[in-house]
Amino acid sequence: SLQDKNALHLYSVNGKYLGSETLKEEVSDMCVTGEYIVMGSLQGFLSIRDLYSLNLSISPLAMRLPIHCISVTKEYSHILVGLEDGKLIIVGVGKPAEV
């Protein structure tokens, strides 16, 4: 965060700069899962981005409260979202018939 601007920067394992994306929210937690970055923000948005292009995979989901932590199940079937008020939100991943 620099002067009220937030950005996500991508580097290779060798330290080569690959790109960046300016963010509108303050990231509170994130995890890398397969080919995706799952991020939660203090503004209450859950975002899923492509790991290589940093583009949004879906439009952000509003949780209405600041997100404190994020985890993805080892089968990649659900995203666990911990909110500021102590609630745990479970988000199914995939097509509705699969969830």
Residue 30 resides in a domain: yes
Q: Is residue 60 situated within a structural domain?
A: yes
Encoded tokens for 95: 């097509």
> Identity (one letter) of the amino acid at 27?
V
Reported pTM: 0.85
Q: What is the pLDDT along the chain (99 residues), one digit of tens a residue?
A: 445 689 999 999 999 999 999 999 999 999 999 899 999 999 999 999 999 999 999 999 999 999 999 999 998 899 999 999 999 999 998 766 554
70 lies in which domain range?
A: 2-10+17-92
Q: Give domain status of residue 49, yes or no.
A: yes
CA 51 and chain centroid, separation: 11
Total residue length of the chain: 99
Q: Return the closest-CA partner of residue 33 out of 16, 47, 43.
A: 47
Any domain includes 97? no
Going along 1-99, which residue ranges are E strands?
6-11, 17-23, 27-33, 36-41, 45-50, 61-62, 67-72, 78-83, 88-92
